[in-house]
Structure 1
Amino acid sequence: MPDAPSPDPQDLAHRRRLAAWAGATRRLADGPVSGTLAQRLARLADEAPSAYDLDDWTDVYGDGVVAALERRTADLLGTEAAAFFPSGTMAQQVALRCWADRTGNRTVAMHPLAHPERWERDALTQLTGLRVVHPTSAPRNPTGDEVRDLAEPFGTLALELPLRDAGFVLPDWDELTGAVAAARDRDAVVHLDGARLWECTAHYGRGLPELAGLADSVYVSFYKSLGGLSGAALAGPASLVEEAVAWRHRYGGQLFQQWPAALSALVGLDRELPRLPEYAARAKVVAAALREAFGGGAGGAGGSGSAAGPVPWFRIGPEVPHTHQFSVWLPYDAEVLTEASVRLAEETGTVLFRGWSDAGPPGVAVAEVTVAAPGLAWTAADVAEAAAGFLARVR
């Protein structure tokens, strides 16, 4: 009888991390894949009755609960219509190719850190034949002048709000409206990559319809910010959404049934959306406490710690979080920091950070911090205690 294959070390490490996160009693937010299959099913069964009539029939190719989610999304964003997509990647590819056909220009202006450029394996060029130009490479969204001065014509300006890979950063209102106005001056349409648009209202002090109304179309995610299982929506004029639905079918996105994702999205709209401003306020407390813990108050957002500070250099960005998410950079290898994070969870039951990834320069790693309902109970002292325990395990 042949020997059983040896366990995959990467799989074992992944399962160890999941077990550590799941077993922790203190965390800033529930993870996007927290819980076993049984736990997730039980949670959905418990929460869904308050969001939708479970005596209704399951959806078939987008009717029923999926159609109800589309109507609610359009109402929340103040758009004529919205279409549910199984992924944001598909939703944005469809939106951008529709605008290219309508404008007659297949060039899209977007940031090099935007999701389609970083995480979609060149899908825009490989699948749609679109071409991308960059108004800026600075770690922020482009200014009006940068959009206006772009050296070649473009049909669509795509803005990611917030710009995740720069640290979940948002432009101020004048910068945002200036970039939109510059695109209009160049006869271009504006598309918002609003995967996390739900989080932006507190920063701007403006409602979702005003934010979405800046653009010709907007994509929103149902699992980012809202804790749904999966799925996204493309919202905008009814004629655009109708065209997008045809392309959704061609892309293989007209799934037979999607009721688990749709139900969890409705739950997120009910439970999480109203609380996002509260989470954003707590994230400011957490970021300030981490800054103090890492640098004794002297390190700031992008300097070194004090002479007696716990780390030689760090960065927390934005210095004051714009949403309920922000990024932390530390001068250690990602593997070292991830191991310290896992050990903190295993040994103390506290999750401060989850995974770390290499940030570019050798020996520098970055982690994303999300503050949600579990984090509302954390005080600055709690953050300081967790940070001290984490740093002790780094060393």
Structure 2
Amino acid sequence: MHDTRQRRLAAQAASDRILSGARPATMRDHLAALAAGGDLDGQPDFYGDGPVATVEERVAELLGAEAAVFFPTGTMAQQVALRYGADRSGRRTAALHPLGHQEVHERHALAHLGGLRSTWPTTMPRNPTADEISALAEPVSTVVFELPLRDAGFVLPSWDELVAACAAARAIGARVHFDGARIWESTPYLAHTLSEIAGLADSTYVSFYKTLGGISGAVLAGTTELAAYARVWRHRYGGQLFQQWPAALSALAGLDRVLPRVPEYVRHARTVAAALATLPGARVYPDPPHTHQFRLWLPHPAKTLNDAALALAEKEKVWFVGGWQETEVPGVSRAEVTVAGPGLEWSAEDVVEIGERFLHVAGALRD
């Protein structure tokens, strides 16, 4: 598995054209990019000041929040946000989506570390509605919305649906928390600014390595009371690091250089998705995409498609779409497509032409 991953990364890095994703950054690439995020002749942070404090101030302003706190990981930030809701309300249950990050990707830290439990307002592949929140059978401390809901296909509610759902959460006495790891690309679909979106919530978490290309790091934004609580629990969880200036500077670089381009990524993702949908047996979802990421299905085994992506990259220096996984339908596989900077260079005609060559390689591998 390690050798396959290294071979894939090498093929992507050597490709002249990349449709889905971005060219993998080396450590040298990251170091070179740090200068764009701040003054390298300045002093590094000391337990959270300096460039870390600058990131916190910048994100608080972007989200229209009173304060923001830098965390080494989003998992830690969200655990603290939900613990805060439970401690303030005395309710040890949070309303989550079964496909949400806390349920799928955090090894049940909510229960094991926080002593909390979850309830599901819905199992449908979308965020919960106002009616579903109102119908919850037990009191909850926090209602979590993941914007967009990645494991349902990067889907978003409409603005009106989100407003109504947040109001319903408050009507039952719950806080509203946004898992906004990818909230950066949600503004075009919701047709509102980051501060307007975050203004619907009591707290919002954002990531810097997702979408913005940072090294690592996250921020939890909300009230000054939440921030004070978060700093205490960040320390208790082991997140009070001595220095985090590389992550902080790369976050600032992403905010300056990548964030302004995200709406363009989202617009072009719709062009790419429409072109991919014309390939034989292809299906995209959502159609059109809500963000610059969406799902693609093709009628071939995952190994065949992954081998085809690698073969095309190594032979023609063109990276199409990788990361294929089997689905519940035999012989049909699914991948996530991410249209970022390199993908902007692809016209709809390019997508169809290379897609047909990709499928030809896949067909040859199956024969």
Query: Structure 1 residue 73: deviation in Å?
Result: 0.6
Structure 1 match to 2:87: 101
Partner Cα distance (2:51, 2:20) in 1: 27
AA at the equivalent of 2:7: R
Structure 2 match to 1:54: 40
AA at the equivalent of 2:30: R
- State whether structure 2 residue 57 is matched by structure 1 residue 89: no
Partner Cα distance (1:369, 1:86) in 2: 27
Partner Cα distance (1:130, 1:279) in 2: 38
Structure 2 match to 1:256: 242
AA at the equivalent of 1:282: H
Partner Cα distance (2:315, 2:6) in 1: 16
Structure 2 contact 148–180 (Cα < 8 Å) conserved: yes
Deviations 1:208-265 (A, max 9, x none): 1110000000000001111101110000001101101110111110111111111110
Query: Structure 1 residue 109: deviation in Å?
Result: 0.6
Structure 2 contact 21–337 (Cα < 8 Å) conserved: no
- Kindly report which structure 2 residues correspond to 1:150-169, keeping only aligned pairs within 5 A, or say none: 150-169=136-155
- State whether structure 2 residue 364 is matched by structure 1 residue 378: no
Partner Cα distance (1:117, 1:360) in 2: 21
- Kindly report which structure 2 residues correspond to 1:197-236, keeping only aligned pairs within 5 A, or say none: 197-236=183-222
Structure 2 match to 1:176: 162
Question: Where has structure 1 moved over 6 Å in runs of 4 or more?
Answer: none
AA at the equivalent of 2:26: T
> Are the structure 2 counterparts of residues 359 and 61 from structure 1 closer, same or farther at C-alpha, using a change threshold of 3 Å?
farther
Partner Cα distance (2:111, 2:309) in 1: 38
- State whether structure 2 residue 103 is matched by structure 1 residue 149: no
Structure 2 match to 1:113: 99
Query: Structure 1 residue 153: deviation in Å?
Result: 1.8
Cα RMSD over matched residues? 1.4
Partner Cα distance (1:14, 1:205) in 2: 38
Structure 2 match to 1:37: 27
- Kindly report which structure 2 residues correspond to 1:311-330, keeping only aligned pairs within 5 A, or say none: 311=281, 314-330=282-298
- Unpaired stretches in structure 2, ≥5 consecutive residues: none
Query: Structure 1 residue 27: deviation in Å?
Result: 0.7
For 2:113, what is the secondary structure of its paired residue?
A: helix
- State whether structure 2 residue 305 is matched by structure 1 residue 337: yes
Partner Cα distance (2:333, 2:114) in 1: 34
Query: Structure 1 residue 55: deviation in Å?
Result: 1.9
Query: Structure 1 residue 363: deviation in Å?
Result: 3.6
Deviations 1:99-141 (A, max 9, x none): 1100111111111000110111111111111111111111111
Structure 2 contact 21–343 (Cα < 8 Å) conserved: no
Partner Cα distance (1:364, 1:102) in 2: 47
- State whether structure 2 residue 123 is matched by structure 1 residue 137: yes
Query: Structure 1 residue 29: deviation in Å?
Result: 5.2
Partner Cα distance (1:199, 1:52) in 2: 24
Of residues 349-358 and 48-57 in structure 1, the stretch that sits farther from structure 2 once superposed is 48-57
Partner Cα distance (2:213, 2:28) in 1: 17
Query: Structure 1 residue 366: deviation in Å?
Result: 1.8
Partner Cα distance (1:124, 1:152) in 2: 18
Structure 2 contact 73–216 (Cα < 8 Å) conserved: yes
- State whether structure 2 residue 35 is matched by structure 1 residue 67: no
- State whether structure 2 residue 12 is matched by structure 1 residue 26: no
Partner Cα distance (1:158, 1:278) in 2: 28
Structure 1 contact 329–366 (Cα < 8 Å) conserved: yes
Query: Structure 1 residue 205: deviation in Å?
Result: 1.5
Deviations 1:317-362 (A, max 9, x none): 1010111111112233322221111112111211111211233444
Deviations 1:37-62 (A, max 9, x none): 23332x32xxx334322221011111
Structure 2 match to 1:305: none
Of residues 147-156 and 82-91 in structure 1, the stretch that sits farther from structure 2 once superposed is 147-156
TM-score, length basis structure 2: 0.96
AA at the equivalent of 2:25: G
- State whether structure 2 residue 323 is matched by structure 1 residue 355: yes
AA at the equivalent of 2:6: R
Structure 1 contact 29–373 (Cα < 8 Å) conserved: no
Partner Cα distance (2:327, 2:82) in 1: 29
TM-score, length basis structure 1: 0.89
Aligned residues: 363
AA at the equivalent of 1:84: F
Partner Cα distance (1:63, 1:235) in 2: 17
Structure 2 match to 1:300: none
Of residues 20-29 and 85-94 in structure 1, the stretch that sits farther from structure 2 once superposed is 20-29
Structure 1 contact 28–373 (Cα < 8 Å) conserved: no
AA at the equivalent of 2:28: A
